[in-house]
Amino acid sequence: MKVGIVGSGLVGSTAAYALVMRGIGREIVLVDLNEKRARAEAADIVHAVPFANPLRVRAGAYEDLAGCRVVILTAGVSQRPGETRLELLTRNAAVFRSVVPGVLAHAPGAVLVVATNPVDIMTHLAARYAAEHGVSSTRVVGSGTTLDTARFRTLLAQRVGVDSQHIHGYVLGEHGDSEVLAWSLVSVGAVPLEDFCGEGGLCIDDGVKKEIDDAVRNAAYTIIEGKGATYYGVGSALARIVEVILGDQRSVLTVCTPMAEVEGVKDVTLALPNLLGGEGVISHLPLLLSPEEHALLRKSAQVIRSAIDELGAS
């Protein structure tokens, strides 16, 4: 099982490392405009193989993506001093206008997993460009709020003293400032959070919820302030998404993919609990949210749709 990664920066290379550590796939191909960087990252990662799992890791060009089941897209440009968000989006749109056809020319059957930020809009654009090559939007999957959901579960797990893998809750909407922590859906095992806390004498009141909400929403800002970038969390999230696709595991993840309508907002791409399998997104789970959460999700969808409109992308 072959996985391609286009973009060998911190996120792309960390995703490759996470794949090796977890033994996901059998071959990883790193593609980057900076060929020297791609070769160096591949060489460094392959030296970890004897300590982990027997994967082949190498650098290559687009033609080396032939046969890939999944291709992760982390390529993009960084924001310049004084550059507006729209200007950055316009330049990254140009990058994807080249990258997506380049990938599909050699790996037409691959599921595309988008990680480039702003991920919701870049996934929307990738799906648009992929459609020009006959690829269904369900085969274009953004990392969405997979990482935000992990942050939410981790912080809540610390509060209630339960393994985070048994905390069930989701962050929805934009991977960004307007994201929505769906508190009404949270459970510990099969027990609703409120009932679990009542039985255990725990307090998760509005103050605690706000503290966790702020920590999740501002996690990237805090990490970037301290070390300049985030990559371990998202790299691991990408590895998990790839694992689900390669194994056709039919898992529920908060990835993003184009939607005809969300909360009355037409043609928008944002993160929801999606059933993910070998060919991409299979279906969307119904949202049993509170009225307030529905309203917040609508606002988040409007934020993304406005950015798409400003960019001039349908």
Burial class (CB in 10 A: 0-12, 13-18, 19+), 258: buried
What SS3 class is residue 207? helix
CB 91 within 8 A of CB 27: no
Helix axes 206-217, 146-160, angle to 10 degrees: 140
Q: Which residue has the tokens 């391609």?
A: 4
Report CA-CA distances (Å) from 20 to 31, 51, 72, 135, 265. Answer: 17, 10, 15, 28, 40
Which of the 8 DSSP states describes residue 173? Answer: B
Q: Report the C-alpha gap between 78 and 111 in whole angstroms.
A: 25
Q: Report the C-alpha gap between 81 and 100 in whole angstroms.
A: 27
CB 30 within 8 A of CB 41: yes
Q: Which of 47, 133, 168, 175 is flagged as catalytic?
A: 175
Q: Which residue has the tokens 């392959």?
A: 46
CB 23 within 8 A of CB 53: yes
Report CA-CA distances (Å) from 295 to 262, 271, 289, 302. Answer: 11, 15, 10, 11
133 tagged catalytic: no
Which of the 8 DSSP states describes residue 186? Answer: -
- Residues acting as catalytic residues: 175
